[in-house]
């Protein structure tokens, strides 16, 4: 039986999936604040907090770094609960087997992510923090995808042909940009896991040059000049090069996304949802680069750095959803439902359904 014949829009389920994705986005922000405030180890134990049941930690402890870390843990617990409910709900109510399994994957991923976060604290391994950050971003993509799959638009778009205009070259371009963003997020998470503050303190130059001097004498000079209250650790050549690579990849991503938006506009016309999404993506990318610059200009102010993390998450999700829609459409379009099945799913006449 064609998949779309099974589809019946379930508003509460979709609403719940959207809520879970939104809460995951909030969780990413809370996690970003933990790292930005260098508060990841402020509560030394896990799963308890200072020996207390985490849901009963007295408010007198919610101060300084503890506030950020404990809030992050509580929001994570809420996301875990919502994801569990969503997985069960999908299993029981969504007719598509692959969506049911996606719910199971989401459940397993959120459990693994929780344990990973706990191990980062218990083992005090900064590298685990970087992996925790990347898995968090990936989980957000998954939750956003589930929200998309359960939505009315997913069924509607699978029934109309307006999405089929994207040529293979454009799709591969967007895919390349999305994968580049994912690599960039890994790099960003690695930089944040260094807990060393800004490795390069100026932008667009780097210590006044296009490529900074990384000789031992120059690095010693940079460190002697670093008068940061929080980022006390001396920086290394590796960290300087890491930030330079981050800058270069950011520029490459901007070019890729701009090319994607331009080609989508030319191929599909600006009224096409995929073209609109690509233009939105470009605008997001410009904002994201602005936030990256602001992170440096504000000496890594916690709220600005966290906004930069969230901008990265939104950029990744936008690219990923674009790819899912475009590739999925070309993959299943020939087998897509007849007007009658769509009518059955949404009610009304076939023409009305197609226009929804």
Partner 1 sequence: MKKISLILVITSLAGGFAARAADIVGTITLNGTPPPEVPYTPLMNDSTCGAMYKTTPTTHFYAVGPNHELADVVVSLKGITGKSTGASQPPVTLDQKGCLYEPQILAIQTGQKLVVKNSDSCIHNVHCVPTVSGNPESNQVQMPGGADLDFTFAKPEMFLKFKCDVHPWMFAWVSVFDSPYYGMSDKDGKFIIKNVPPGKYTVEADHRKLGTSTQEVEVKDSDVTVSFTFDVK
Nearer to partner 1, 61 or 203 (CB): 61
Nearer to partner 1, 155 or 193 (CB): 193
In the complex, the smallest distance separating the C-beta of residue 267 from partner 1, rounded to whole angstroms, is 49
Nearer to partner 1, 302 or 345 (CB): 302
CB neighbours of residue 211 within 10 Å: 11
Nearer to partner 1, 153 or 297 (CB): 297
In the complex, the smallest distance separating the C-beta of residue 194 from partner 1, rounded to whole angstroms, is 13
In the complex, the smallest distance separating the C-beta of residue 218 from partner 1, rounded to whole angstroms, is 9
Greatest Cα pair distance in the chain: 76
Token pair for 112: 């693994």
Phi-psi group of 337: left, alpha or beta (phi > 0 → left; psi -120 to 50 → alpha; rest → beta): beta
Cα dist. 200→23, 181, 188, 219, 238 in Å?
33, 21, 14, 11, 11
Q: How far apart are CA 38 and CA 40, in angstroms?
A: 6
Residues at the contact surface with partner 1, assessed by CB under 8 A: 37-45, 50, 61, 63-66, 69, 124, 217, 220-221, 223-230, 232-233
Q: How far apart are CA 245 and CA 257, in angstroms?
A: 18
Nearest one of 314, 296, 295 to 305, comparing CA atoms: 295
**DSSP summary character for residue 209:** B
In the complex, the smallest distance separating the C-beta of residue 220 from partner 1, rounded to whole angstroms, is 6
In the complex, the smallest distance separating the C-beta of residue 104 from partner 1, rounded to whole angstroms, is 35
In the complex, the smallest distance separating the C-beta of residue 125 from partner 1, rounded to whole angstroms, is 10
In the complex, the smallest distance separating the C-beta of residue 237 from partner 1, rounded to whole angstroms, is 15
Nearer to partner 1, 33 or 187 (CB): 33
Nearest one of 143, 151, 201, 191 to 32, comparing CA atoms: 191
Nearer to partner 1, 84 or 233 (CB): 233
Nearer to partner 1, 92 or 123 (CB): 123
Q: How far apart are CA 81 and CA 8, in angstroms?
A: 25
In the complex, the smallest distance separating the C-beta of residue 19 from partner 1, rounded to whole angstroms, is 32
Nearer to partner 1, 210 or 224 (CB): 224
In the complex, the smallest distance separating the C-beta of residue 112 from partner 1, rounded to whole angstroms, is 23
| Dihedral (Cα; 289, 293, 295, 296), 10-degree rounding | 150
Nearer to partner 1, 121 or 278 (CB): 121
Helices (H), the chain: 3-6, 11-36, 65-93, 97-122, 126-149, 152-159, 168-193, 216-225, 237-268, 273-297, 302-332, 339-346, 350-355
Question: ω before 47 within 30° of 0 (cis)?
Answer: yes
Q: At what angle do helices 11-36 and 65-93 cross, to 10 degrees?
A: 160
| Total number of residues shown for the chain | 356
């Amino acid at each position: 039986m064609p998949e779309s014949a099974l589809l019946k829009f379930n508003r509460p389920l979709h609403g719940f999936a959207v809520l879970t994705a939104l809460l995951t986005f909030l969780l990413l922000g809370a996690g970003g604040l933990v790292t930005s405030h260098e508060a990841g180890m402020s509560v030394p134990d896990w799963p308890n907090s200072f020996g207390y049941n985490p849901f009963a930690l007295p408010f007198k402890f919610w101060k300084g770094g503890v506030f950020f870390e404990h809030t992050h843990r509580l929001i994570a617990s809420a996301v875990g609960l919502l994801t569990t409910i969503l997985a069960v709900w999908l299993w029981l109510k969504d007719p598509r087997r692959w969506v049911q399994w996606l719910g199971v994957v989401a459940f397993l991923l959120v459990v693994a992510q929780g344990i990973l976060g706990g191990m980062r604290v218990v083992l005090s391994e900064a590298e685990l923090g970087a992996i925790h950050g990347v898995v968090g971003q990936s989980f957000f993509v998954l939750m956003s995808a589930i929200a998309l799959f359960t939505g009315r638009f997913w069924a509607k778009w699978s029934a109309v042909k307006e999405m089929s205009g994207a040529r293979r070259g454009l799709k591969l371009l967007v895919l390349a940009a999305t994968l580049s963003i994912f690599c960039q997020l890994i790099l960003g998470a690695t930089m944040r896991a260094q807990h060393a503050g800004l490795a390069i303190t100026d932008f667009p130059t780097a210590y006044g040059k296009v490529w900074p001097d990384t000789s031992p004498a120059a690095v010693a000079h940079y460190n002697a000049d670093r008068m940061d209250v929080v980022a006390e650790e001396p920086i290394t050549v590796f960290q300087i090069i890491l930030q330079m690579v981050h800058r270069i990849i950011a520029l490459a991503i901007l070019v890729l996304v701009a090319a994607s938006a331009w080609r989508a506009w030319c191929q599909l016309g600006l009224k096409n949802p995929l073209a609109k999404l690509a233009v939105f993506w470009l605008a997001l990318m410009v904002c994201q680069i602005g936030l990256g610059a602001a992170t440096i200009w504000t000496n890594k102010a916690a709220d600005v750095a966290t906004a930069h993390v969230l901008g990265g998450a939104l950029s990744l999700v936008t690219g990923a959803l674009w790819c899912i829609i475009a590739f999925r459409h070309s993959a299943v379009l020939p087998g897509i439902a007849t007007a009658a099945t769509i009518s059955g799913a949404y009610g009304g006449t076939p023409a009305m359904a197609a226009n929804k």
